[in-house]
Structure 1
Amino acid sequence: MSPHVFADRPTGQPPERGTVDALISQTRRLLGEVDAVRRETPGGADDEADPESRWQRALYELAVHQLHDLDRHLAQLREGPAPRPTTAERQHSSLVSRVGSAEWNLLTDEVTWSDELYRILGREPAAPALTLDELPALVHRDDQPRLTAMVTDCLIDGKSIDGEFRVARPDGSVRTVHMMGEPVLDADGSTASMWAVVRDVSELRRSQRAVSETRDSLQRQRHIAQTEHRLAVELQEAVLPPWRGSLRLPHGLDVAARYLPSPVGALVGGDWYDVLELPGRQALLTVGDLSAHGVAAASRMAMLLGTVRGIAVCGTAPDEVLARLNHLLLTAPPERSLASALCCRYDPAARTLAWAQAGHPAPLLFRDGSGRALTPPEGALLGAASCTRYGQAYETLRAGDVLLLHTAGLVPRHNGDVAAERLLALAPGLATAHSAQECVDAVVDELGTAEREDDACVLVARIDP
């Protein structure tokens, strides 16, 4: 009988040993580099809840697995068929990356399996190799039609085999294998046998599923985050004062404010500012900062700001406003939150400012080209304790005075004293400003482009000369 040839092309020649050695060296060098990066990637318990971290680790694991796969395959190609392993070696050897081969001779009914194929299928080496009719018995019931179709197409139509199916091993485990093969023709062009290689791809598919699942989880998480961010922004815009820029009250008070979002974009927080005209020709000035972000923070900010407006319009003093806000945060479901706040009431008739604070930076008063922080009365963070007392302080203002209220995020990565110093250094520029809006612009020009980690508010009230 003439030598067999693969359908449509002659049998290829094996690569030279030096070429395979070079490929092995390149593969192992790349494997070392990828594995080093993988080991440096965070993977502790704190990262388990982060979809992006899980997705990154899954990709690294898949890349390392495939490079290990390639290295072992090239080593098999270089060293040729290995001797039959002992029983102990078979028990301790990994099934990952093993490649077996088989040939079914249609003329003699002879079947030849490599040692690796016995190991992949979990069969004893002394057991007879299975014929093409017997092979489906090892295959998962749902995959049997696929195997039958592949073999039929190969033997009858001369098509190449390329497909996967699951095999049930005698020990009860199920492995996924990938079979590639072709019909081998004799000199007359008739199918003489079928040759195939079988590769255990169970771990590879597991890694690929992990990548797919973590990618889907990451996409869902991003979609949820984008939706929550949009809702938080919409809620915040609906609750903050409808006026933007500046506002002139009919009592000689020129007011301007600005909300500065976090450059990160996702940290929509609970910062607020508000100016409200009160009965008796008085005005309410308030800023606050809720220690949370997202929809929940925006929702609680809306609750606090609505409460401030409702209480203050009834003539409640600033210290009592904060006491009631503290009680609200302590009792409002579903969980407790902390917030800082500043509440000021301005009486234009007496040009007197009554104010109270809850763990918040004190107002800054600018007069005649210099500035100072007002001495704060007692007051702890809102929501910290039920027995907190809030004091109230008073300040007499003059024509041309500038009052600056802000939240802590305005001067990032600095404590309150450093933040106050940087703001007070703006006194010369604020002294030459002609409006509250110009004062806010000066503050934003100086500090608005800083790489802050949180959102912030700044509010300026200027007493008309």
Structure 2
Amino acid sequence: MPSHVSAEHPAAQPPEPGTVEALIAQARRLRGEVDAVRRTTAAEPGDERLRWQRALCELAVHHLDDLDRQLGQLRDGPAPDPVGAAAAAAAGGAAGRVALPAAPPEGPAPRPACSAGSAEWNLLTDEADWSGELYGLFARSPEEGPLSLDELPSWLVEEDQPLLTAMVTDCLVDGRPIEGEFRIVRADGAVRTVHMMGSPVLDADGRTAAMWAVLRDVTALRRSERELSERRDALLRRRQIARTEHRMAVELQEAVLPPWRETLRRPPGADAVPDLAAHYLPSATSALIGGDWYDALHLPGGGLLLSVGDLTGHGVTATSGMAMLLGALRGMALTGAEPGALMERLNHLLDTAAQPALGSALCCRYDPAGRTLDWAQAGHPAPLLFRGGTGRALPRPDGVLLGATSGAVYGQARESLLPGDVVVLHTDGLARRAAGLTDSPDGEPGGARRLLELAPRFCAARSARECVRVVVEEFGGTEREDDACVLVARIGGAEPERPEPARPVP
């Protein structure tokens, strides 16, 4: 049975790939233009005004590189997963409501903290010159003055101090441009991650006279990257868990369902035993392994138990519950219990289980000697009987879903069968209602209507396997929301003689 998923709030749709590609192209074009300006300012290294412009260009290039990388992640996104609906179902269940942002406060918005500034340290005069923005980055008062290169390391987190020392040495001693990140402890006690990019300033003799640098606060950016990485790792873990659960559900299902996926072997001398065939049809995504089952069991005395059912949910929980239910059904059937009594005991089993669940089931006991079918149902589609080129659904006795209520009583019906009759049992995931298949007046789902339309082909088939192939041809390619099972029984024995057509009198 399909799980109940709320469609009140549809999931947000991802941006169109073309839109993201256009943004990436614009960002890269702008980066090229900024880079051209940076190369122009680099032609005059001694001009203070151009040096400041070059520093701003370097900062803009870094921002554009970050933007290009993040847009690339938005474009690529997480790789599609074959159990993507089951991974989401396994990890989060049904879709929830999206929290709306709070209304903005009245009045002017607070001024954002400064995120970038510049500095120059003169080695000849031992003077430092900071931009006003840099004081804001360090939460330092301009009246206190700038920090010297000797004082700067004391503002860093202890583990990062050797990194800054090495960067300054590379710039002042080796005359190389520097770039790196470190953490500072501001005057207000806040720890911030700072990206520093600088280069030496040479005098007329080619010796290092000063060092200038641009420092920017990248705390929020690195935090976002870290959160993104953690979420990606969590998603990969959930996918791995979903794959493992999916594999376990498939293996458990294959171990529980009868090994005869095509035709059931008849006992020697049991000509009256019906010809049986069954098939399991996965959902459209092939990822939601549910609790559907089919089964046939030879009973003491020559009878035959036929059953199909569906336990709510998907994954290991539903499959293990189905295995428990099917095992209990088999064990109780061997005691000689009638189908109605079997339904009552299965209902009690689900109602008192540690993990309550709902399920539908159809249980039939066929007597080959009298060719009678006694059956009961628990909220399940009725058996379909095909005879003489037509088909009909058998009138359903009373029966509610398993686990829905305590002490439920289940009715039982009997149907006499003839040689050549075809009986089809199926679960309700066989066809979608979204395909315009409304329920019939007698309460049967739309999938049963489509099966009844196949009556001429069922009646013309010479084996249950042929009937199953007809079902697979008709339903195998449909967009089912849930998995499904079908079990076909073709009653054996001597078929009634068909009257020959009247011959015209000469």
* Shorter-chain TM-score range: 0.7 to 0.9
Determine helix, strand or coil for the equivalent of 1:189. Answer: coil
Letter in 1 for 2:474: E
In the superposition, relative to structure 1, how do residues 258 and 241 fare at CA in structure 2: closer, same or farther (>3 Å)?
same
Instruction: Say which of 376, 384, 398 aligns to 2:396.
Output: 376
1:390 is matched with: 410
Letter in 2 for 1:217: A
Letter in 2 for 1:95: A
1:152 is matched with: 169
The alignment of Structure 1 onto Structure 2 pairs a total of residues equal to: 401
**Which sits farther off after the overlay, 223-232 or 118-127?**
118-127
Instruction: Say which of 471, 488, 492 aligns to 1:443.
Output: 471
Q: Which digits, 9 at most, give the CA deviation of each residue in 1:25-57, with x for residues without a partner?
A: xx9xx99xx8xx99xxxxxxx99x759x99xx9
2:369 is matched with: 349
Take 1:358 and 1:225, find their aligned partners in 2: how far apart are those partners? 31
Structure 1: gaps of 5 or more residues: 1-7, 39-45, 58-88
Letter in 2 for 1:362: A
**8 Å Cα contact 1:410/1:448 also seen in 2:** no
1:241 is matched with: 258
Determine helix, strand or coil for the equivalent of 1:429. Answer: helix
Structure 2: gaps of 5 or more residues: 1-41, 76-87, 99-107, 496-506
Q: CA deviation at 1:300?
A: 0.6
Q: CA deviation at 1:184?
A: 1.4
What value does the CA root-mean-square deviation take over the aligned residues?
A: 2.9
TM-score by length of structure 1 reads 0.81
Determine helix, strand or coil for the equivalent of 1:167. Answer: strand
1:178 aligns with 2:198: no
**8 Å Cα contact 2:428/2:445 also seen in 1:** no
Take 2:302 and 2:156, find their aligned partners in 1: how far apart are those partners? 87
1:93 is matched with: 111
Take 2:386 and 2:363, find their aligned partners in 1: how far apart are those partners? 18
Determine helix, strand or coil for the equivalent of 1:149. Answer: helix
Take 1:145 and 1:403, find their aligned partners in 2: how far apart are those partners? 82
2:296 is matched with: 275
Take 1:388 and 1:156, find their aligned partners in 2: how far apart are those partners? 89
Take 2:92 and 2:488, find their aligned partners in 1: how far apart are those partners? 40
**8 Å Cα contact 2:200/2:208 also seen in 1:** yes
1:461 is matched with: 489
In the superposition, relative to structure 1, how do residues 418 and 352 fare at CA in structure 2: closer, same or farther (>3 Å)?
same
Q: CA deviation at 1:173?
A: 1.2
2:317 is matched with: 296
Take 1:386 and 1:312, find their aligned partners in 2: how far apart are those partners? 21
**8 Å Cα contact 1:270/1:291 also seen in 2:** yes
Take 1:370 and 1:274, find their aligned partners in 2: how far apart are those partners? 26
Q: CA deviation at 1:126?
A: 1.9
Q: CA deviation at 1:245?
A: 0.8
**8 Å Cα contact 2:348/2:407 also seen in 1:** no
Take 2:132 and 2:228, find their aligned partners in 1: how far apart are those partners? 32
1:257 is matched with: 278
Letter in 1 for 2:146: A
Q: CA deviation at 1:208?
A: 0.7
Take 1:159 and 1:317, find their aligned partners in 2: how far apart are those partners? 91
Identity among equivalent positions (%) equals 60
1:411 is matched with: 431
Determine helix, strand or coil for the equivalent of 2:235. Answer: helix
TM-score by length of structure 2 reads 0.75
Take 1:9 and 1:158, find their aligned partners in 2: how far apart are those partners? 18
